[in-house]
Amino acid sequence: MSKRVVVTGIGVVTPIGIGNFEFTRALKIGKSGVSAIESFDTSAYTTRFAAVVKNFAPEQFIDKKKIKRMARFTQFGFASAKMAIEDSKLNLHDEDLSRIGVISGTGIGGLDVIEVEEQTLLAQGPRKVSPFLIPMIITNILPAEIAIHYGFTGTNYTVTSACASSNSAIGDALQLLRSGDVDVMISGGAEGAIVPLGLAGFCSIRALSRRNDDPQRASRPFDKYRDGFVMGEGAGMIVLETLEHALNRGAKIYVELVGYGASNDAYHITAPEPEGKGAVLAMEKAIIDAGISKEEVDYINAHGTSTVLNDKIETFAIKKVFARRAYKIPISSTKSMMGHLLGGASVVEFAATVLAMQGGFIHPTINYETPDPECDLDYVPNTARMKYINCAISNSLGFGGHNATVVIKRYVE
């Protein structure tokens, strides 16, 4: 029989707050984490702003000797995992570490390290390139570092499915827990690609907003005058356990993770399929996997990137799945506040959904000013809404046509 799976720990490093308390407070007030980029000269770029993590002190989470041997995405992810494990109050001395695994999602990896070492190579030659270059840039180093630190010898790998990566990682962890292969999984994702090359690449494909004169209002999902997404960085990790294991140790339970669905558009490397078929399929599969009716879903955390095509097509897909009821379901986009965390986006949106459920509110879609006739649902504009959420879904739709949806419910014994 398939085991039930619950969330017992959450840790986040985001542009609007580090740790659950700061993050939840920012969600409630609709805080924007977007500002001008100050870490490098952006004068030649068409977009000169992003959602950067501020006041992150890696030495609070990581041994000083290891900090220099970790790319920025790994630092974020490791810190998030540490906070999530502390939040879960797992007593590792009492655990079989072979039954604890780690699966993370990352879209790009150590791009910051690649840039620095490429410059070293060109200026000083190959002998000066760091011997840590390869271990620092590979995406699987994040779960490896977590496992090495804690001694977790269970399933351990990284999923890469662009912006859907961390939902894909959570979905894989769910299946392992259901099957009984593990008792505990640390899962989520991280990204740290706001560097000259990363920004240049996204500028070149014209995916980013160009509101350089008003960056805090640049991310405006579903608004008629949206003009592209805002690059973000950060990470989130969650502790998932079988219900049996959580109850046996008297764990605090946030929510139950009940469903997962994934698909591919099989259409285009960056553009979504025009009729939203892939997004529809992922949502339908997740709802079936959860064993719930569509009438039970009372909140949707949208992918909601603030791009012209994505928001329109995701809206269309939601209407295809829920029909007339789509107009009654509150929908919001966390990206309106913190930009797009790429491979780390969906787990932070998962965390936002769980924390909002705990707090009895729905966070707003900020910067929503002008309705778009093609985006005509309830996007919870600008102000948080007090609401009891029993069942929520969270969508992630990535470059390459990757789609992943998770279903979360309040835990009931």
Strand-pair category, 299-301 with 331-332: parallel
For residues 53 and 125, membership in a common domain is answered with yes
For residues 324 and 383, membership in a common domain is answered with yes
Q: Judge whether 255 lies within some domain.
A: no
Distance separating alpha carbons of residues 337 and 128, to the nearest angstrom? 41
For residues 70 and 211, membership in a common domain is answered with yes
For residues 226 and 266, membership in a common domain is answered with no
Task: Residue 120: give the domain boundaries.
Answer: 5-248
Domain count, the chain: 2
For residues 52 and 30, membership in a common domain is answered with yes
Q: Judge whether 400 lies within some domain.
A: yes
Q: What is the reported pLDDT for 364?
A: 98
Q: What is the reported pLDDT for 84?
A: 98
Of 248, 279, 306, the residue at which a domain comes to its end is 248
Q: First and final CA of the chain: distance in angstroms?
A: 17
DSSP 129: S
For residues 243 and 264, membership in a common domain is answered with no
Q: Judge whether 80 lies within some domain.
A: yes
For residues 273 and 156, membership in a common domain is answered with no
Low-confidence ranges of the chain (pLDDT < 50): none
Q: What is the reported pLDDT for 231?
A: 98
Distance separating alpha carbons of residues 241 and 221, to the nearest angstrom? 33
Of 248, 282, 303, the residue at which a domain comes to its end is 248
For residues 59 and 198, membership in a common domain is answered with yes
For residues 105 and 36, membership in a common domain is answered with yes
Q: Judge whether 360 lies within some domain.
A: yes
For residues 221 and 317, membership in a common domain is answered with no
Q: What is the reported pLDDT for 413?
A: 82
Q: Backbone phi, then psi, for 398, in 5-degree steps?
A: -115, 160
Residue 6: CA count within 13 A, CB half-sphere: 19
Distance separating alpha carbons of residues 38 and 40, to the nearest angstrom? 6
CA dihedral 364→51→32→239, nearest 10 degrees, is 50
Q: Judge whether 254 lies within some domain.
A: no
Q: What is the reported pLDDT for 74?
A: 98
Structure tokens at 265: 């558009």
Of 183, 213, 248, the residue at which a domain comes to its end is 248
For residues 186 and 281, membership in a common domain is answered with no
CA dihedral 151→155→160→166, nearest 10 degrees, is -80
Q: What is the reported pLDDT for 386?
A: 97
% of residues, the chain, pLDDT over 70: 100
pTM: 0.97
Question: Which DSSP helix (H) or strand (E) runs through 7?
Answer: strand 5-14
Distance separating alpha carbons of residues 390 and 329, to the nearest angstrom? 12
Q: Judge whether 253 lies within some domain.
A: no
Q: What is the reported pLDDT for 1?
A: 77
* Catalytic positions, written as ranges: 163, 303, 340
Q: Residue 301's domain is classified under what CATH number?
A: 3.40.47.10
For residues 244 and 272, membership in a common domain is answered with no
